[in-house]
A and B are shown apart, each in its own frame.
Chain A
Amino acid sequence: EDQVTQSPEALRLQEGESSSLNCSYTVSGLRGLFWYRQDPGKGPEFLFTLYSAGEEKEKERLKATLTKKESFLHITAPKPEDSATYLCAVGGSGATNKLIFGTGTLLAVQP
């Protein structure tokens, strides 16, 4: 069964304190791994897609990496505006081809 597990559930950082969020996955035939940002009461906002192990993508203070079993979202020198819930999702090669989401990591960056 396809499964996505994110850790930690919540993370509190000081402004400028770099860290990483983890997304472990089990999927038959990974078609894509996706990172989203979600602000309270709003819809998830797409950040990155990774397709194969070794791939990396960056956007401002965020960098996503992928291995065969997990993905990391590295946050370098975070600012308070980076506070949000970060969601990971995988798309498998099963017949339904739908996205399976993790439960997210709630990130709070304090000034």
Chain B
Amino acid sequence: DADVTQTPRNRITKTGKRIMLECSQTKGHDRMYWYRQDPGLGLRLIYYSFDVKDINKGEISDGYSVSRQAQAKFSLSLESAIPNQTALYFCATSETGGRTEAFFGQGTRLTVV
């Protein structure tokens, strides 16, 4: 089983719908992250969490919200999806910030029509 699991792997949704992307990890790491990846723009940080009680906005948090349900679970919600939120979304975990590598899930390909 993968250390970082994302569900769903693919999703097509309509404009205005609420959608949740889920992430769970078995690494035992406190730090969890949500990134989106767009062609030519690289990986951009949406939200990050250092522990269950600590959630922070990244560089592109508008239109998104998150919930850290447990150390191992971190979900990303799009409250009212719009077409420019079509992207590849990745969840990641790390043991510490900045000095140790992040481990990524397999990604969720989200299409908003």
Contacts and interface: CB of A to CB of B under 8 A. Distances in A.
Interface of A: 31-32, 34, 41-46, 49, 51, 87, 89, 91-94, 96-99, 101-104
21 contacts: A31-B99, A32-B98, A32-B101, A41-B107, A43-B90, A43-B104, A43-B106, A44-B90, A45-B104, A49-B100, A87-B43, A91-B99, A96-B48, A97-B96, A97-B98, A98-B33, A98-B45, A101-B44, A103-B40, A103-B41, A103-B42
Nearest to B9: A41
Given A96-B97, A99-B98, A42 B33 contact: no
Given A103-B40, A103-B41, A98 B100 contact: no
Interface of B: 4, 33, 35, 40-45, 48, 56, 58, 88, 90, 92, 94, 96-107, 109
A98 B94 CA distance: 10
Nearest to B44: A101
Nearest to A93: B98
A22 to B, nearest CB: 15
A103 B102 CA distance: 16
Given A87-B42, A103-B40, A103-B41, A98 B104 contact: no
